[in-house]
Amino acid sequence: MNLQTLTGVKMVSKLIALEVYHNLKDIDFRILRGVELNMRHHQWVPLEDIAKFARTDVETASYRLGKLDNWMLVRRRSDIGYIGYQLTIHGYDVLAIRAFARKGVIEAISQTQIGVGKEADVYVGITPQGEKVAVKFNRIGRTSFTRIKLYRRDFIDKHHISWLYISRLVAEREHEALQLLSPIAKVPKPIAWNRHAIVMEFIEGVELSELRDDDLTREEAEDILNKVLDEYLKIVRFGIVHSDMSEFNIVLTEDDDILIIDWPQYLPTAYPESLEYLRRDISVLLNAFHRRWRVKKDFSEVWNEFYEAWLESRGEKDNKD
């Protein structure tokens, strides 16, 4: 499938994978896949292993890898006793995009970036049916992943953990959370997941953090906070804690409703440490609304309600005393 590049509003940053996608041949995708799979066992994948996986000779593999290096899809190293390669984040993007295209999930992706954070970028995609979707690429390799402790159970007995694996795990966890919550809560509906990328429904709106303080009256801000707390209370009672709740993860939709986004760090309430993260979530939310819009709520009153919901989700409500 030929992946198109859409044009739209002002570009924030380029998705390099799209710029080179039309240059790639089938052998290039096999080579990229060979580097990806062998990075489970090598920090720098030997050229010979890549050629073997791609079912080609070393000379051809070296030539194609040179092009992939020029396109910033792989990086090369020759001072380690052999010639080795690593996949870059752009190469990982290419593999995820190809998987979505071949499965008929997306037909085009825009260079328009609609969201950016320390650990993810979001772009507009178009389905074969012509519908807009959001395509989120996790960028864990961009910064140190300071909350890796939330994933420590997944790292038991893992001796070689790459940023590829972490980025993939983060996307998988968020997709899992959205699958659980979308039937019962105001979160984006997931459509597909592959590697470090998630395709989800496209929602017109603006993040709360992007608003200026004078964009909302105190009464309007209080109404928004009440909606967020009501929705989050329902989610906690269901058995999930966001663990990174803030004004950056709340979207105000065009119909004056709210959406809670960014769920890769969610914790089930079955985890004892989820209570600590829930307390922090509530504190961060209340402090943000008080600081920016002078909305004052008593923490203990709000917390008591959430603590009751947390206990209820664990089947401990009747035993809290």
Q: Choose among 117, 94, 83: nearest CA to 28.
A: 94
Residue 240's SS3 state is strand
Helix (H, G, I), strand (E, B) or coil at 165: helix
Q: Report the sign of the C-alpha dihedral through residues 252, 10, 188, 150, in that order.
A: negative
Beta-ladder partners of 267: 241
* Catalytic position from the list 244, 255, 262, 318: 244
Say whether 318 is catalytic: no
Query: Do residues 87 and 96 make contact, with C-beta atoms less than 8 angstroms apart?
Result: no
Do the Cβ atoms of 279 and 303 come closer than 8 Å? yes
Phi, psi of 73 (to 5 degrees): -90, -25
Two tokens at 128? 């074969």
Any long-range contacts for 302-311 (C-beta under 8 Å, 24+ apart)? 302/229, 303/279, 305/233, 306/232, 306/233, 306/236, 306/278, 306/282, 307/275, 309/233, 309/236, 309/237, 310/236, 310/241, 310/269, 310/274, 310/275, 310/278
Here the tokens at position 299 are 């923490």
Tokens 């795990």 belong to residue: 169
Determine the Cα–Cα distance for residues 217 and 213; give it in Å rounded to an integer. 8
Active-site positions read 244
